[in-house]
Amino acid sequence: MAKENCIISLQGVNKVYDGNTVVNDFNLDITKGEFVTFLGPSGCGKTTTLRMIAGFETPTSGQILLNGEDITRIPPHKRPINTVFQRYALFPYLNVYDNVAFGLKLKKIPYEKTKKDGTVVTKMRHLTREEIDAKVMRALKIIDLEDLETRDISTLSGGQQQRVAIARAIVNEPEILLLDEPLGALDLKMRKEMQLELKDMHKKLGITFIYVTHDQEEALTMSDTIVVMKSGEIQQVGTPIDIYNEPVSAYVANFIGESNIYNATMVGKLKVKFLNHVFDCVDDFPLNEKVDVVVRPEDVEITVIKDEATSDKLVAKITNKIFKGIHYEYVLEVGKSEIVAQSTKDYPLDSMVYIDFEPENIQIMKKELTKNLYPEAYLDKNNKLIISDAKFDVDVSQLLKGSHVDDELYLIAENGKKYDLDDADVIAEIGLGDIEIVDGYDNGNANGVVVSTIYIGDHWQVIVRTQEEEDFVVDTQDTWNEGDLVSVIVKPEKISLTLKGNIDKYEVE
Amino acid sequence: MKSNKAKRFFTLQRKYLSIPYIVFLVLFIIVPIGIVMFYAFTYEYTDPVTGVKFISASGQAFLNFFTSWSKWNVLFVSLFIATLTTLICLLIGFPLAYFLADKKVNKNAVFVTLFIAPMWINFVLRTGATRDLLTWMGINGGNHPYVATLIGMVQNYLPFVILPLYTTMLKLDKSQIEAARDLGANPTQVFTKNILPQAFPGIVSACLMTFMPTMSSYVISDVLSEGKITLFGNYIELEFTNKAWHDGSFMALVMLVFIGLTMLISQKSSKEGKKEGGSW
pLDDT per position as a tens digit, A256-278: 877 888 888 888 888 998 888 89
Q: Per the CB < 8 Å rule, is B275 touching A152?
A: yes
Query: Any idea what the Cα angle at residue B119 is, between residues B117 and B123, rounded to 5°?
Result: 130
Q: Residue A193: which CATH number?
A: 3.40.50.300
User: Is residue B2 pLDDT above 80, yes or no?
Assistant: no
Residue A368's pLDDT band, with cuts at 50, 70 and 90, is: low
CA-based nearest distance B114→chain A, Å: 30
Q: What integer pLDDT is reported at residue A109 of this predicted model? A: 85
Domain coverage including residue A284:
258-366
CA-based nearest distance B29→chain A, Å: 37
Phi, psi at B55, each rounded to 5°: -105, 135
For residues B192 and A108, what is the distance between their CA atoms, to the nearest angstrom? 18
Are both A383 and A356 inside the same structural domain?
no
CB-based contact, A116 to chain B, within 8 Å: no
User: Is residue B275 pLDDT above 50, yes or no?
Assistant: no
Q: Which residues of A touch B182 (CB under 8 A)?
A: 54-56, 76-77, 81-83, 169
Average pLDDT over residues A462-476: 86
For residues B167 and B280, what is the distance between their CA atoms, to the nearest angstrom? 10
In this structure, which amino acid lies at residue B29?
I
For residues B66 and B68, what is the distance between their CA atoms, to the nearest angstrom? 6
Are both A306 and A229 inside the same structural domain?
no
CATH class of segment(s) B69-273: mainly alpha
Give yes or no for a contact between A236 and A247, defined as CB atoms under 8 angstroms apart: yes
User: Is residue A383 pLDDT above 90, yes or no?
Assistant: no
Give yes or no for a contact between A40 and A228, defined as CB atoms under 8 angstroms apart: yes
Low-confidence winner among A152-161, A302-311, A426-435 (lowest mean pLDDT): A302-311
Low-confidence winner among A364-373, B101-110, B176-185 (lowest mean pLDDT): B101-110
Name the nearest CA neighbour of A259 among A240, A246, A269: A246
In residues, how long is chain B? 280
For residues A85 and A181, what is the distance between their CA atoms, to the nearest angstrom? 7
Give yes or no for a contact between B189 and B205, defined as CB atoms under 8 angstroms apart: no
Rg of chain B taking only CA atoms, in angstroms: 25
The string of DSSP letters for A309-323 reads ---SSEEEEEEEEEE
CA-based nearest distance A178→chain B, Å: 10
For residues A269 and A278, what is the distance between their CA atoms, to the nearest angstrom? 11
Q: Give the helix/strand (H/E) hosting A25.
A: strand A20-31
Q: What's the domain count of chain A?
A: 3
Q: Which residues of A touch B180 (CB under 8 A)?
A: 91, 102
For residues A470 and A446, what is the distance between their CA atoms, to the nearest angstrom? 10
Are both A25 and A76 inside the same structural domain?
yes
Distance of CA B233 to the CA centre of its chain: 12
A353's CB contacts (< 8 A; 6+ apart) are A302, A303, A304, A305, A315, A316, A317, A318, A332, A347
A45's CB contacts (< 8 A; 6+ apart) are A15, A22, A23, A24, A26, A229, A231, A232, A233
Burial code (b: 16+ CB inside 10 Å, e: under 16) for B146-184 equals: bebbbbbbbbbbbbbbbbbbbbbbbebeebbbbbbbbbb
Q: Per the CB < 8 Å rule, is B183 touching A168?
A: yes
For residues A247 and B197, what is the distance between their CA atoms, to the nearest angstrom? 49
For residues A232 and A48, what is the distance between their CA atoms, to the nearest angstrom? 9
Q: What integer pLDDT is reported at residue A480 of this predicted model? A: 87
Give yes or no for a contact between B200 and A94, defined as CB atoms under 8 angstroms apart: no
Q: Which residue has the higher pLDDT, A6 or A312?
A: A6
Q: Which residues of A touch B273 (CB under 8 A)?
A: 93
Q: What integer pLDDT is reported at residue A75 of this predicted model? A: 93
Are both A188 and A265 inside the same structural domain?
no
Last residue of a domain, one of A321, A338, A366: A366
User: Is residue B276 pLDDT above 60, yes or no?
Assistant: no
Phi, psi at A71, each rounded to 5°: -115, 15
Tell whether A1 is covered by a domain: no
Residue B272's pLDDT band, with cuts at 50, 70 and 90, is: low
User: CB-hemisphere CA count at 13 Å for A378?
Assistant: 12
Are both A262 and A213 inside the same structural domain?
no
Q: What integer pLDDT is reported at residue A79 of this predicted model? A: 92
Last residue of a domain, one of A186, A217, A251: A251
CA-based nearest distance B187→chain A, Å: 9
Give yes or no for a contact between B279 and B168, defined as CB atoms under 8 angstroms apart: yes
Average pLDDT over residues B234-247: 89
Average pLDDT over residues B166-170: 88
Q: What integer pLDDT is reported at residue B114 of this predicted model? A: 80
User: Is residue B91 pLDDT above 90, yes or no?
Assistant: yes
SS (H, E, C) chain B: CCCCCCCCCCCCCHHHHHHHHHHHHHHHHHHHHHHHHHHHCEEEEECCCCCCEEEEECCHHHHHHHHCHHHHHHHHHHHHHHHHHHHHHHHHHHHHHHHHCCCCCCHHHHHHHHHHHHHHCCHHHHHHHHHHHHHHHCCCCCCCHHHHHHHHHHHHHHHHHHHHHHHHHHCCCHHHHHHHHHCCCCHHHHHHHHHHHHHHHHHHHHHHHHHHHHHHCCHHHHHHCCCCCCCHHHHHHHHHHCCCHHHHHHHHHHHHHHHHHHHHHHHHHHHHHCCCCCCC
Q: Which residues of B touch A93 (CB under 8 A)?
A: 197-198, 200, 273-274
For residues A408 and A381, what is the distance between their CA atoms, to the nearest angstrom? 10
Residue B181's pLDDT band, with cuts at 50, 70 and 90, is: very high
B266's CB contacts (< 8 A; 6+ apart) are B204, B205, B207, B208
Q: Which residues of B touch A154 (CB under 8 A)?
A: 275
Residue A310's pLDDT band, with cuts at 50, 70 and 90, is: low
- pLDDT tens digits, one per residue of B21-69: 999 999 999 999 999 999 999 888 888 888 788 888 888 888 888 888 8
For residues B190 and B213, what is the distance between their CA atoms, to the nearest angstrom? 33
Residue B1's pLDDT band, with cuts at 50, 70 and 90, is: very low
Q: What integer pLDDT is reported at residue A7 of this predicted model? A: 92
A338's CB contacts (< 8 A; 6+ apart) are A260, A319, A331, A332
Q: What integer pLDDT is reported at residue A2 of this predicted model? A: 45
Q: Residue A269: which CATH number?
A: 2.40.50.140
Are both A315 and A416 inside the same structural domain?
no
Average pLDDT over residues B202-228: 85
For residues B196 and B190, what is the distance between their CA atoms, to the nearest angstrom? 9
Q: Which member of A81, A89, A107 has the closest CB to residue B179?
A: A89
The model carries a pTM of 0.71
For residues A235 and A25, what is the distance between their CA atoms, to the nearest angstrom? 12
Q: Per the CB < 8 Å rule, is A83 touching B182?
A: yes
CB atoms closer than 10 angstroms to residue A308: 5
Share of chain A above pLDDT 70, in %: 97
Are both A311 and A456 inside the same structural domain?
no
ipTM of this predicted complex? Answer: 0.71
Residue B209's pLDDT band, with cuts at 50, 70 and 90, is: confident
Residue A1's pLDDT band, with cuts at 50, 70 and 90, is: very low
Are both A198 and A320 inside the same structural domain?
no
> For chains A and B, what is the number of CB pairs under 8 angstroms?
67
Name the nearest CA neighbour of B209 among B165, B251, B169: B165
Q: Per the CB < 8 Å rule, is B184 touching A103?
A: yes
Residue B5's pLDDT band, with cuts at 50, 70 and 90, is: low
CB-based contact, B3 to chain A, within 8 Å: no
- pLDDT tens digits, one per residue of A227-237: 999 888 999 99
A91 to chain B: closest CA residue: B176
Q: Per the CB < 8 Å rule, is B193 touching A82?
A: no
Tell whether A39 is covered by a domain: yes
According to DSSP, residue A95 is labeled B
Q: Which residues of B touch A92 (CB under 8 A)?
A: 274-276
Q: Which whole-number Å values give the CA distances from A266 to A295, A312, A376, A433, B38, in the listed order?
A: 16, 19, 20, 22, 103
For residues B228 and B220, what is the distance between their CA atoms, to the nearest angstrom? 12
- pLDDT tens digits, one per residue of A162-210: 889 999 999 999 999 999 998 887 888 888 888 998 999 999 888 999 9
| Angle separating helix axes A129-142 and A188-205, nearest 10 degrees | 130
Last residue of a domain, one of A366, A399, A423: A366
**Which residues of chain B form CATH 1.10.3720.10?**
69-273
In this structure, which amino acid lies at residue A72?
T
Q: What integer pLDDT is reported at residue A229 of this predicted model? A: 92
Are both A446 and A492 inside the same structural domain?
yes
Share of chain B above pLDDT 90, in %: 24
Q: What integer pLDDT is reported at residue B271 of this predicted model? A: 63
- pLDDT tens digits, one per residue of A29-48: 999 999 999 998 888 899 99
Q: What integer pLDDT is reported at residue B192 of this predicted model? A: 92
Average pLDDT over residues A310-331: 87
Surface-to-core class of residue B10, CB atoms within 10 Å of its CB (0-12 exposed, 13-18 middle, 19+ buried): exposed
Q: Indicate which of B168, B181, B182, B198 best probes the interface with A, i.e. most A CBs within 10 Å of its own CB.
A: B182
Q: What integer pLDDT is reported at residue B7 of this predicted model? A: 61
Low-confidence winner among A277-291, A307-321, A470-484 (lowest mean pLDDT): A307-321
According to DSSP, residue A2 is labeled P
Are both A344 and A440 inside the same structural domain?
no
CB-based contact, B273 to chain A, within 8 Å: yes
Q: What residue spans of A20-156 are helical by DSSP H?
A: 46-54, 96-106, 129-142
CA-based nearest distance B11→chain A, Å: 42
In this structure, which amino acid lies at residue B121?
I
Q: What integer pLDDT is reported at residue A406 of this predicted model? A: 85
User: Is residue B107 pLDDT above 80, yes or no?
Assistant: no
Sheet containing A507-508, strands listed edge to edge, beginning at the edge strand earlier in sequence: A404-405, A411-412, A418-419, A507-508
Name the nearest CA neighbour of A399 among A320, A327, A506, A490: A506
Tell whether A196 is covered by a domain: yes
Q: Which member of B175, B186, B275 has the closest CB to residue A154?
A: B275
CA-based nearest distance B173→chain A, Å: 8
Are both A43 and A157 inside the same structural domain?
yes
Tell whether A56 is covered by a domain: yes
Phi, psi at B118, each rounded to 5°: -55, -25
Are both A109 and A14 inside the same structural domain?
yes
- Most confident residue range from A181-190, A249-258, A451-460: A181-190
Instruction: Round the average pLDDT of chain A to a whole number and report it.
Output: 87
